[in-house]
A and B are shown apart, each in its own frame.
Chain A
Amino acid sequence: MRGCGQVSEQPVVLVAGSASGEVLCLDESLSFWGGVDPRTGEIVDHHHPQHGCTVSGRVIAMPSGRGSSSSSSVLLEAIRSGSAPEAILVLEPDEILSLGSIVAGELYGRSLPVVVLDEATYSSLVTGETVAVGEDGSLHRQSGSVDDDPDNTTGG
């Protein structure tokens, strides 16, 4: 079955890094600006289905970036303040998200992985499961049916 264990199709790494955390699947794309409080990581966009959820420490999966071009700065500020997600998984490349992470790497030596997944892998993600994202964008799942080495599941 596709979507279990390590991904079969090559992920596209927008910003490389390794990380692990609990997955939070967002039903709709989220604009960090106006959508996330960078001090707490809470989703404050009233129109968003996951309004009230917290992105801090989570591996968030959302279809794409959305809305305001200030989102790079808000993501950067969230990374600085320690309330950012661990990693961002998307279906479409998004430069605005990439930039916040790239500049966090330049300024603070701390970036988060931003990876484009194929549709099958993306849609198999489940909120609450723990995944590790590798430097090459590979995805390792810590529960469920895995077909890769179960020891190779911790991220940085």
Chain B
Amino acid sequence: MDLSVEDRQRLAGDAGPAAQLAMRIVVRLAESMGVDHLLDITGAHVDSCLYHGQSGLDFAGRLVEGGASVAVPTTLNVSSLDLLHPELYRGDEAEGEAARRMAGMYEEMGCQPTWTCAPYHLENRPSFGEQVAWAESNAIVFANSVLGARTARYGDLIDISAAITGRVPAAGLHLDDNRRATVLFRLLDVSPDLLDLDQVYPLLGTVVGAASGSRVPVIEGLPTALSEVRLRALGAGAATAGSIGMFHAVGSTPEAPTLESAMGGRDPHEVVEVRTSDLRASRDQLCTVSGSALSSVCLGTPHYSIDEFQVVVALLTGRRVHPDVDFYVSTGRSVLAELELRGWADLLRSAGVALVVDTCTYVSAILADTTGTAMTDSAKWAWYAPGNLGVDVVFAGTSECVESAVAGKVLLDERVWSGV
């Protein structure tokens, strides 16, 4: 392995036990990947701060005791708690305390207490071509695909190790060659009306993700200059159903001005045709229940942006959520601060919406009723919540979610799917 002088010093323990452990993890991972040198990074986004059990505390504890301090600006992904509104937590007391202790340890290492799975909503997001080490699947896909920054598909444990050392294996999506699409998705009969609906993008994401595996897909046939909201939903859906770290949408993402550039001038290994019926099947797969009973509405996975809140605010102005329905929107504390400034936070709260920050309703014990049906506009939430929480789920568009919350029962607009 081609290591720098500083790498060797860290491995030898010269920079303390935590830097030594972090360096060992980076090097062992590089070795397991067959990679012979490392790269410098300029930033990191860390997901290890989410509490999954004693081992997370053991790992963070070992780093803090060993004098860990991050070498590059580092943001933190969600916690299992809403640290600003602890009263929302309904889970086990001891587990909540452990999660809080763990969150504190990551702050102690110098990470910024951003507590969001949407670090691309923060100021100072990475620029085109910048090498970073991001964890959290939706953030990874967004960084690579929408920002044109470069991160491999990092996960827990390596993310903080990279942040402490400032080094990552020179592999994966850090390198030009691995960023070219090898699988081509062609939209066949998907109507412009359907493509004008936000809810189609997370569904398309799950279709693309499931068929891509870990390859880089390119999608042809979409409207150009798609909004960040739509690109993000597509990427989050794809990273849920598959293990992609990047996608190209011709005419929208920065490394895909044309199909040829996205593919690096090469032919695809595979061409996949996507039909409206595939999108509908994806929608049906994300719904575990039919019927009109409704207990909760959960939006904000990944964390809602200001643009997405604008849609909900417009739909709820002058109206109220039905008293039998719990309505949650998860977001980052930086977006919450902006909502407060605009007066939207008060408007939403008085309409009956609970604003959840620092965490997500599917990783934290927040939902008041997990025996009933929850509605969501997120493919990711719909995918994971039944396993995590035991709820039944209905996936639908944002406006259907809001209309249902007001009515107190599931209302679906099936017209968009008619004839499919």
Contact = CB atoms under 8 A, between A and B. Distances in A.
Given A69-B140, A98-B29, A80 B54 contact: yes
Interface in B377-412: 383-384, 386-388
Q: Could you say which interface size class chain A belongs to?
A: 35 or more
A64 B180 CA distance: 20
Interface string B348-373: 00000000000000000000000000
Interface in A7-44: 12-15, 29, 33-35, 38-39, 44
A64 B243 contact: yes
Contact of B214 (A34, A35, A64, A68): A64
Given A67-B239, A72-B157, A92 B47 contact: no
Contacts of B388: 34, 44
Contacts of A38: 52-53
Interface residues of B, number: 45
Contact of B153 (A80, A96, A102, A114): A96
A70 B155 contact: yes
Contacts of B21: 106
Contacts of B154: 69, 95
A77 B52 contact: yes
B226 to A, nearest CB: 24
Interface stretch (B56-64, B121-129, B182-190): B56-64
A12 B33 CA distance: 9
Interface string B319-353: 00000000000000000000000000000000000
B32 A102 contact: yes
A67 to B, nearest CB: 6
Interface of A: 12-15, 29, 33-35, 38-39, 44-47, 63-74, 76-77, 79-81, 92-96, 98-100, 102-104, 106-107, 114
Question: Which 5 residue pairs across A and B have the least CB separation, nearest first?
Answer: A69-B155, A77-B53, A73-B156, A96-B155, A34-B384
15 contacts: A14-B33, A46-B288, A47-B383, A70-B47, A70-B155, A77-B55, A92-B214, A96-B153, A98-B29, A98-B33, A99-B25, A99-B157, A99-B158, A106-B25, A107-B55
